Amino acid sequence: MPGPLVSVDALCARAGEMLRAAGFVVDVVSMQSEATYYRMPGKAGLLRVASHPKKSKGVAGSVTFIANRTTPGLLRMTDEQLREQVARAIGFYIMKTVEEPKP
């Protein structure tokens, strides 16, 4: 069963809360969009939360919510789907920011 319609702004805010609860801190808030970049203290990369895709240098993971054309600004998503998307982004972030072992 599809999840309820939720605003992408609310999803971005909730994802940010989940990241902060996991130990991430806000690094940069875009001046041109709602995109917010988080980092884990002691790690080099960023994790991006936004409602539009973008390739950015230094981004090791991202959570992107793209609304469809029939419901502009809204997306069907359950709490479980949101948790899974944030967990996946954190996993990619951790994998990409791990230092390679030295020989």
**Residue 11 forms part of a structural domain:** yes
**Residue 83 forms part of a structural domain:** yes
**Residue 86 forms part of a structural domain:** yes
Task: Give average pLDDT by consecutive 10-residue segment, the chain, 103 residues.
Answer: 87 96 95 91 92 82 87 91 96 86 62
**Residue 102 forms part of a structural domain:** no
Q: Which of 87, 3, 93, 15 is nearest to 50 (CA)?
A: 15
Q: Which of 80, 58, 77, 79 is nearest to 66 (CA)?
A: 77
The rounded distance, in Å, linking the Cα atoms of 94 and 36 is 18
**Residue 88 forms part of a structural domain:** yes
| 15, 87, 75, 80 alpha-carbon torsion, rounded to 10° | -110
The domain containing residue 44 runs over which residues?
5-97
For residue 62 the two structure tokens come to 């991202």
- Is the pTM here over 0.85, yes or no? yes
**Residue 70 forms part of a structural domain:** yes
**Residue 66 forms part of a structural domain:** yes
* Domains: count for the chain: 1
**Residue 103 forms part of a structural domain:** no
- Asked if 93 and 61 touch (Cβ cutoff 8 Å), the reply is yes
At residue 103, the pLDDT reads 64
